[in-house]
Structure 1
Amino acid sequence: MAEGLDLLHKQMDFSGCKIALICGDQLLTILRDNIPTIPWPGMWELPGGGRESEETPFECVRREVFEELALKLEEAAVIWAKEYQGMVNPDKISIFMVGTITQEDVASIVFGDEGQAYQMMAVSDFLASEKVIPQLQGRLRDYLEVQA
């Protein structure tokens, strides 16, 4: 079993999930709203969000990906998961996942009402950009180092 996938259905206390959805050497990114009162306004980030009620990590990320992009995330698409300190609430755990998507998935995206836009971004650009939330760059790097 790939690293951390036992986390997907764990009943645990966590604040939320983010997922790096990769297609080839491209990553699905979302441009956050440019509202001064939210964390990281106008920065690029990854799909995901806060946990609702008693969701497991996979239930949370599946719901968020559907709300934000109208994609039905299959569990088999998730290839890696790891616990991290929460970005907004450092006292809570957040779950970072990596998954794969197809060109057909990308073509079927219907962008929701959270964020300004989405785009497929080269993984190398995501890791190098100053317009990306730094914690997410670090988490993706952790995954890539394990794969190397």
Structure 2
Amino acid sequence: MSFVGAKLILTQGENLLTCLRDDVDWIPFPDHWDLPGGKAEDGETPLECALRELDEEFGLRLAPERLSGQIIPSATRPGRQSWLFLGKLTETEIASIRFGDEGQEWRMMPISEFIAHPRAVPHFRDAVAQVLGL
């Protein structure tokens, strides 16, 4: 496996799909607002990882061509790489979200709120600002 995992910046208008991480001490950044995505499974491509995680976490299935991706340094595994994908959601897709069993809740959070939120995962707060040019 040449990468650690993949995350997604999924927007609809001025809002961003986010989830509140579980509040347990054995995960990085417990009880913080996070982006969809997670660790790669053996043999997955970055895009396959992102799409699988999105389906598991939110019940959403997007066509691969709706996402554009870039390599980013892994914040949790220094010296390794992760992927960050960007895409847009429709109101219909948001209404169809079925939250999985990871995390406490999900929100379409205003992008400006996520970037400034004291409990947003810091490296993803910065990545959202950078990728969206804010």
**TM-score (norm. length: structure 1):** 0.87
List runs of 5+ in structure 2 lacking aligned partners.
Answer: none
Task: Give runs of ≥4 in structure 1 deviating > 6 Å.
Answer: none
Q: Residue 90 of structure 2 aligns with which residue?
A: 102
Give me the whole-angstrom Cα distance separating, in 2, the residues matched to 1:52 and 1:24. 32
Q: How does 1:1-148 map to 2 (within 5 A)?
A: 13-78=2-67, 80-145=68-133
Give me the whole-angstrom Cα distance separating, in 2, the residues matched to 1:96 and 1:22. 13
Task: Measure how far apart 1:115 and its partner are.
Answer: 0.5
State the aligned residue count.
Answer: 134
**TM-score (norm. length: structure 2):** 0.95
Give me the whole-angstrom Cα distance separating, in 2, the residues matched to 1:27 and 1:44. 11
Note if contact 1:126-1:137 (Cα within 8 Å) is conserved in structure 2. Answer: yes
Note if contact 1:15-1:51 (Cα within 8 Å) is conserved in structure 2. Answer: yes
Give me the whole-angstrom Cα distance separating, in 1, the residues matched to 2:69 and 2:129. 13
Residue by residue over 1:17-75, the C-alpha shift from the partner in whole angstroms, topping out at 9 and shown as x without a partner, is: 00011011100000000001110000000000011011111100000000000000211
AA matched with 2:31? G
Give me the whole-angstrom Cα distance separating, in 2, the residues matched to 1:86 and 1:20. 16
Q: Report the RMSD for the aligned CA atoms in angstroms.
A: 1.2
